[in-house]
Structure 1
Amino acid sequence: MAVAKSKAGKHAAPLLGKYELGRLLGRGTFAKLDKPELAATAGMDARVLGEVSAMRRLRHPNVLRLHEVLATRSKVYLVMELAPGGDLLSRLASLPSRRLPEHAARRVFLQLVSALIYCHARGVSHRDVKPQNVLIDADGNLKVCDFGLAALPESHRDDGRLHTACGTPAFAAPEVLRRKAYDGVKADAWSCGVILYVLLAGRLPFDDSNIAEMCRKAHRREYTLPEWVSQPARRLVSRLLDPNPATRLTVAELSSHPWFKRSLSLDSQLGSLLGGAPERDLLFQAPPTLNAFDIISMSPGLDLSGLFGENRRSREKRFMTTASPEQMVEQLGHSGAKLGYFMVGKKGVERLPLGGLSGLVAMSMEMSEVAPPLMLVELRLEAGDEEEVQAFGWDALRTELGEVVMAWHGCEEL
């Protein structure tokens, strides 16, 4: 956050001794409300509490992080991760065609799907999925935000259904608009279908100021896709924009769809997602060279992580290879695809959300040159709780990597 200064040019007094308030970055539904305003606005205090409760359960690379909640007598402060790239709607609006090429749309959609499957696995339904609630960080990666309307497990009635009509009409499922009992997971899937349509076509599938007429069009599937959209993408949109929630595809089932089976890292036309340097420039920066001190410092005898409650041995693996960084990323992409994983680039480090499309674990890969052509590859599970980390299939990944691995080690064996 930018630091604010007083008229005298000095820094403002730290907020609660920890933060300095900077310039206003934007406004949301309740981005700047005092406690009295929250109490006076019907349901607003419940939305704030709901958002805090939902975000405290979530820690995923594509979900905006809630760092801390602070309160004074008159105000409530939510300290969140900064996403300086704006929202997805604004970025699309800045493009001449207001849409993305299909290979770029696939990458955007994969990140959205990964975030939502993670949320659903923890009993959180977003219920207001739309481009305005998808932010972009400094590296061009997506961050799902605004969980003010999210439904938690305790929100469901005895029948396991939700009954509150909420969200944005153009992105809300027909059963929500018709004020029927609904499944929040299936409602989020419909919203994903609308977003995928927008990414591919540059417009809404159902756009009418009359909500009843919009609902009728959605129920009859009265939409058309431009001719440039591929057949696999068309079929996926149709499966998501299914007015019958019982037969509608869920986001957790997307891994079996042909449109998702293509490895993103091997798409030769995949450029920058939403601005910045080309994708391959980000992925294949020259690896650093290790010196003797670097190698010695990796010794298990000098590993002090246990003193801080970290379990590095279950989170990290290292191996030697003579493959180039380009070859290594390609092989990891092939191996991951066989196991149902997918790859998303991030500024010189290849991040691999793992566990099918569950998004429950995210991996980073770093390569360092030991002595040409020998390279040290370090794989680390960056996200996921201990249970998920312990269950991760290292052996299966090692098998799929095959001959590219010269010697496979855990942290304790290097």
Structure 2
Amino acid sequence: MQPRRAPAPSSGAGSTGGVILGKYKLGRLLGRGSFAKVYHAVSLSDNTAVAVKVIDKAKTVDAAMEPRILREVAAMRRLSRHPNILQIHELMATKTNIYLVMDLAPGGDLSAALRRRGGRFPELAARRYFRQLVSAVHFCHHHGVAHRDIKPQNLLLDDAGALKVTDFGLSALPDQIRHGLLHTACGTPAFAAPEVLSRHAYDGAKADAWSCGVILFLFLTGQLPFDDSNIGAMYQKTLRRDFQFPRTISKQAKFIIYHMLDPNPSTRLTIEALMNQSWFEKSWPLDQASPNSLPQPTKDRKFTATEMNAFDIISMSAGLDLSGLFENGKRERRFTAEAPAEEVEERVAEVGGKLGYRVERKKGMGMGLVKGRTALVAEILAVAEKVVVVVVKAEDGGGWDFEEFHWDDLKVGLEGVALSWPNDVC
């Protein structure tokens, strides 16, 4: 699709001149980075204000940013509808640009809010923001996502003052985890756990818990617990827990921070344990959902289909091919089926078992099919009632041949259920 001009251009510094992008009218420039600009925009259908991130494809190639964009979109697909996670509503593209339509966060980020409050928050305000952060992080972890870059600049405020976690460009998805651990050192050093700084294998959820502890300390003191321009010296401080509490912090808050900043991840206070602390639960606002009451993956059901949204549909559309941007080195096949998700899952598992694959249920992300060195993930995406798309791909991107999965046999096994089988291999 090509943006077009509105009859009445908007005015003002940094304005796009009233460019119409799909059902949105772009307005003033809100900010810019090395490869993207963010504009204020208004929905033409209901006059809702949103933000549109315009990503220059040419610059993303030079900056090697495609993997970050891919992870951000994939993470947002999993994390839709949480009140404290910034939502991406639509993904669009032209030959030169990618457009991400997101929630508008006019309150800016938490670093700016800290400056407005004199460098630190009163404990009541700090606890309010901290609970919203933990609620969002807990939701991420239960949907298989580790954020890995929790810092004030990635915590925004909406027009009602609610916290919104954003920037999932460094997040880790389930298919990046090997043997339950992550191996890529990333994030911002002052907020990163010691096991990340040491470049050892680490648990993404426990690393996020450490970052949350740093955030709480910053909220209450206006300072970082471990702050040194020399990363090696900073790492040594984290190992020794070399920081001091001001007298103004309550004993309960000190307890939480001390145990979240445990350099040993196996004894570190987890997000789940934190949410049961009395200081955390105290005076939870009645008009806001408690983190424990937010939707969680169903434990009794073997599988819950992921709801397909605009990102999935656009990425599959031949008329708007984003494969040049989102190619991630993995080969995959997909097919559509007309049946409830649970029935399709059982049929795929049955056929896979007959072909010699070991079936492994994978919480929140479909199921695994394993035979020898071949490991596949089958994810079922619900398009509508009793209509699903099944995506089967290599779990680790290793070399394997799709013919080993016996696609002809799978077609026969799903006869009467499968609607279409695309011939192309991504």
Name the TM-score, length of structure 1 as normaliser.
0.62
Would you say 1:183 and 2:120 are equivalent positions? no
- For 1:50 and 1:72, how far apart are their aligned partners in 2? 20
2:262 is aligned to: 242
Shift of 1:360: 2.4
Secondary structure in structure 2 of the residue aligned to 1:132: helix
Choose which of 268, 280, 289 in structure 2 pairs with 1:352: 289
Greater fraction of residues in helix: 1
Are residues 1:88 and 2:110 paired? yes
SS in 2 for 1:24: strand
Q: 1:230 aligns with which of 247, 250, 254?
A: 250
Contact 1:51 1:150 in 2 (8 A): yes
What is the CA distance between 1:263 and its match in structure 2?
Answer: 1.8
Matched residue type, 2:295: L
Corresponding residue number in structure 1 for 2:121: 100
Q: Percent identity?
A: 56
Are the counterparts in 1 of residues 149 and 187 from structure 2 also a CA contact under 8 Å? yes
C-alpha distance in 2 between matches for 1:150 and 1:31: 19
- Aligned-pair RMSD on alpha carbons? 2.2
1:5 aligns with 2:10: yes
Q: Structure 1 residues 13 and 94, CA, compared in 2 at 3 Å: closer, same or farther?
A: closer
Name the aligned partner's letter for residue 133 of structure 1: N
In 2, are the aligned partners of 1:64 and 1:143 still within 8 Å (CA)? yes
Whether contact under 8 Å (1:4, 1:22) holds in the other structure is no
Distance in 1 (alpha carbons) for counterparts of 2:226 and 2:173? 28
Q: Give the counterpart letter for 2:111 in structure 1.
A: L
Number of matched pairs: 271
Asked if 1:120 is matched to 2:141, the reply is yes
Native 8 Å contact 1:353 1:360 kept in 2: no
Partner residue, 1:69: 91
Alignment of 1:122-201 (within 5 A): 122-157=143-178, 159-201=179-221
Aligned-partner residue type, residue 259 of structure 2: R
- Measured after TM superposition, the shift of residue 70 of structure 1 is 0.4
Task: Give the deviation of 1:180 after TM superposition.
Answer: 0.5
Cα displacement string for residues 28-80 of structure 1 (whole angstroms, at most 9, x for unaligned residues): 464334112112222x1010011000011112000001100000000001000
**Gap change, CA 1:184 and 1:29, over 3 Å in 2:** farther
User: Within the alignment, does 1:20 sit opposite 2:25 as a pair?
Assistant: yes
Task: Label 1:151 to 1:221 Cα distance change in 2 as closer, same or farther (>3 A).
Answer: same
Higher relative CO (Cα under 8 Å, sequence separation at least 6) belongs to 1
Q: 1:18 deviation in Å? A: 2.1
SS, match of residue 243 in structure 1: coil
Q: Which runs of 5+ in 2 are unaligned?
A: 1-7, 38-54, 297-305, 308-426
- Is structure 2 residue 212 aligned with structure 1 residue 207? no
Counterpart residue number, 1:314? none
CA apart distance, 1:252: 1.8
Deviations 1:317-356 (A, max 9, x none): xxxxxxxxxxxxxxxxxxxxxxxxxx4xxxxxx23236x2
Match of 1:263 among 283, 286, 309: 283
Gaps of 5+ in 1: 266-342, 344-349, 362-383, 386-414
Measure how far apart 1:114 and its partner are. Answer: 0.3
TM-score by length of 2: 0.61
Q: 1:73 to 1:255 in 2, by over 3 A?
A: same
Say if 1:192 and 1:30 are closer, same or farther in 2 by CA, change over 3 A: farther
